[in-house]
């Protein structure tokens, strides 16, 4: 059943390697779609239009099992909702429609649903982290408060539905915490499109701080262009760099802010391709690198090197046809080890990377 669904709904039926649904969503939400981009897209490999069409698979109302993924897809498309929120909303929907009469049954049902979700898009770290977090919450709630089953169930549903608010509140908290780090007259570099980082900049601008932002272009989906557009709209002076100009500009940069797709147990982060090399350059030039990430992105992963992750691929548009017989690196993300990160700004407070494993151990052991 899971395999069928996989084939039916994963936004790319044929290609080799399969395209990461997570990065597909990100591109849909945050990439710049200009006339120029569309022209490039048309000129480039035809697979791009293919994936565009596939990104919205027809909702096929299936049985009990298909519901999770549909619900998840529905939420995933909302540009304001984070992936984790979508996951938790989907699991909440499972609880609501569940006909289980005991906590144990409900837990088993949820476990199945969350496994299905996770295997549907193995490339999304925040999806699996959010599923784990919610499962943990369910188990803990049922153990802590020996209330009646109905009461416990409605409490779970209520908490699950509040998660969207929690996510928004987390972003606000992070923005507040980060204000001390932004000094008047500083220049910061941001990489890729991150809602948290944007929230930080928004708050800083409304606090009348004077600073300048350099923004990477964020190839291949040009999320950086979208970011720079929104930063400029806030009235903050912004300059766009091509991704390869980071080292060139590093001497005028005072600090670097990046978001994260996931924070792993070592305290390192998994983020959009290019973060690792920015971190290396920053480290060698002694510039602080701050990661802004909500705590529900803490994932129980321990990548040992760059290749030690589920590969996430995405289509790359080079503008011109790629010469025949040339291989293309299509990975969408890289892993930045903790020693290159200065601090993590999370809704749990400002943390050093070593705190992440502590938090995860507390929760899951």
Q: Rounded CA gap, 331 and 61, in Å?
A: 32
Contact 15, 47 (CB under 8 A): yes
Does the protein bind other proteins through residue 347 (CB under 8 A)? yes
Whose Cβ is closer to other proteins: residue 49's or residue 354's?
354
Among 97-105, 219-227, 302-310, 349-357, the segment contacting other proteins (CB under 8 A): 349-357
Count of all residues that appear for the chain in the document = 365
Whose Cβ is closer to other proteins: residue 59's or residue 349's?
349
Size of the site for other proteins (CB under 8 A): 33
Residue with tokens 């898009």, as numbered in its chain: 121
Whose Cβ is closer to other proteins: residue 218's or residue 268's?
268
Task: Provide the angle, in degrees to the nearest 10, between the axes of the packed helices 125-144 and 149-178.
Answer: 130
Q: Rounded CA gap, 231 and 213, in Å?
A: 8
Contact 198, 227 (CB under 8 A): yes
Does the protein bind other proteins through residue 4 (CB under 8 A)? no
Whose Cβ is closer to other proteins: residue 174's or residue 273's?
174
Question: Which residues are 232's β-sheet partners?
Answer: none
> Contact with other proteins (CB under 8 A): which of 137, 168, 249, 316?
137
DSSP conformation class of 278: H
Whose Cβ is closer to other proteins: residue 248's or residue 302's?
302
Does the protein bind other proteins through residue 22 (CB under 8 A)? no
DSSP string, 2-21: HHHHHHHHSS-SS-SSPBPH
Whose Cβ is closer to other proteins: residue 107's or residue 230's?
107
> Contact with other proteins (CB under 8 A): which of 119, 140, 172, 302?
140
Q: Give all strands (DSSP E) within the chain, no chain letters.
A: 186-191, 211-216, 238-241, 255-258, 262-263, 269-272, 289-292, 333-336, 343-346, 349-351
Among 36-44, 139-147, 205-213, 223-231, the segment contacting other proteins (CB under 8 A): 139-147
Does the protein bind other proteins through residue 8 (CB under 8 A)? no
Whose Cβ is closer to other proteins: residue 177's or residue 215's?
177
DSSP string, 135-201: HHHHHHHHHH----HHHHHHHHHHHHHHHHHHHHHHHHHHHHHHGGG--TTEEEEEES--HHHHHHH
Q: Give me the least distance between CB of 65 and other proteins, in Å please.
A: 25
Token representation of residue 267 = 């305290």
Q: Give me the least distance between CB of 209 and other proteins, in Å please.
A: 13
Does the protein bind other proteins through residue 252 (CB under 8 A)? no
- Residues 267, 270, 275, 281, CA torsion sign: positive
Q: Rounded CA gap, 107 and 283, in Å?
A: 45
Window 143-172: residues binding other proteins (CB under 8 A): 144-147, 159, 162-163, 166
Does the protein bind other proteins through residue 41 (CB under 8 A)? no
Does the protein bind other proteins through residue 72 (CB under 8 A)? no
Token representation of residue 215 = 């923004």
DSSP conformation class of 295: G
Does the protein bind other proteins through residue 74 (CB under 8 A)? no
Does the protein bind other proteins through residue 135 (CB under 8 A)? no
Contact 198, 130 (CB under 8 A): no
Among 89-97, 98-106, 138-146, 315-323, the segment contacting other proteins (CB under 8 A): 138-146
Does the protein bind other proteins through residue 284 (CB under 8 A)? no
Whose Cβ is closer to other proteins: residue 48's or residue 355's?
355
Window 173-232: residues binding other proteins (CB under 8 A): 180-181, 183
Does the protein bind other proteins through residue 86 (CB under 8 A)? no
Taking alpha carbons only, the member of 331, 275, 263 closest to residue 302 is 263
Residues lying near other proteins in the complex (CB under 8 A) are found at 133-134, 137, 140, 144-147, 159, 162-163, 166, 180-181, 183, 295-296, 298, 343, 347-355, 358-360, 362-363
């Amino acid at each position: 059943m899971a395999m069928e669904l996989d084939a039916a709904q994963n936004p790319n039926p044929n290609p080799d390697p399969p395209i990461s649904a997570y990065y597909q969503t990100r591109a849909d939400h945050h990439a710049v779609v200009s006339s120029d981009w569309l022209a490039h897209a048309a000129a480039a490999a035809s697979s791009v239009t293919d994936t565009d069409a596939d990104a919205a698979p027809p909702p096929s109302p299936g049985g009990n099992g298909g519901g999770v993924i549909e619900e998840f897809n529905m939420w995933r498309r909302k540009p304001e909702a984070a992936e984790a929120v979508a996951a938790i909303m989907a699991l909440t929907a499972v609880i609501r429609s569940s006909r289980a009469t005991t906590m144990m049954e409900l837990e088993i049902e949820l476990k199945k649903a969350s496994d299905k979700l996770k295997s549907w898009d193995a490339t999304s770290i925040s999806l699996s982290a959010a599923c784990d977090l919610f499962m943990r919450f369910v188990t803990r709630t049922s153990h802590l408060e020996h209330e009646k089953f109905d009461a416990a169930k409605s409490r779970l549903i209520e908490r699950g539905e509040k998660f969207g608010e929690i996510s928004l509140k987390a972003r606000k908290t992070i923005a507040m915490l980060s204000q001390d780090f932004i000094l008047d007259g500083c220049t910061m570099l941001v990489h890729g499109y991150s809602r948290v980082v944007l929230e930080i900049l928004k708050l800083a601008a409304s606090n009348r701080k004077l600073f300048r932002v350099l923004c990477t272009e964020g190839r291949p989906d040009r999320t950086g262009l979208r970011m720079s557009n929104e930063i400029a709209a806030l009235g903050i002076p912004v300059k766009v760099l091509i991704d390869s100009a980071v080292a060139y500009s590093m001497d005028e940069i005072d600090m670097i802010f990046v978001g994260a797709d996931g924070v792993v147990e070592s305290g390192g982060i998994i983020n959009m391709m290019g973060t690792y090399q920015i971190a290396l350059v920053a480290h060698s030039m002694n510039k602080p690198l701050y990661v802004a990430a909500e705590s529900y992105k803490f994932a129980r992963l321990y990548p040992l090197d760059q290749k030690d992750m589920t590969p996430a691929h995405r289509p790359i548009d080079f503008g011109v046809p790629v010469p025949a017989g040339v291989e293309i690196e299509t990975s969408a993300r890289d892993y930045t080890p903790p020693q290159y990160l200065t601090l993590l700004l999370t809704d749990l407070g400002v943390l050093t990377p070593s705190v992440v494993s502590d938090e995860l151990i507390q929760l899951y052991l």
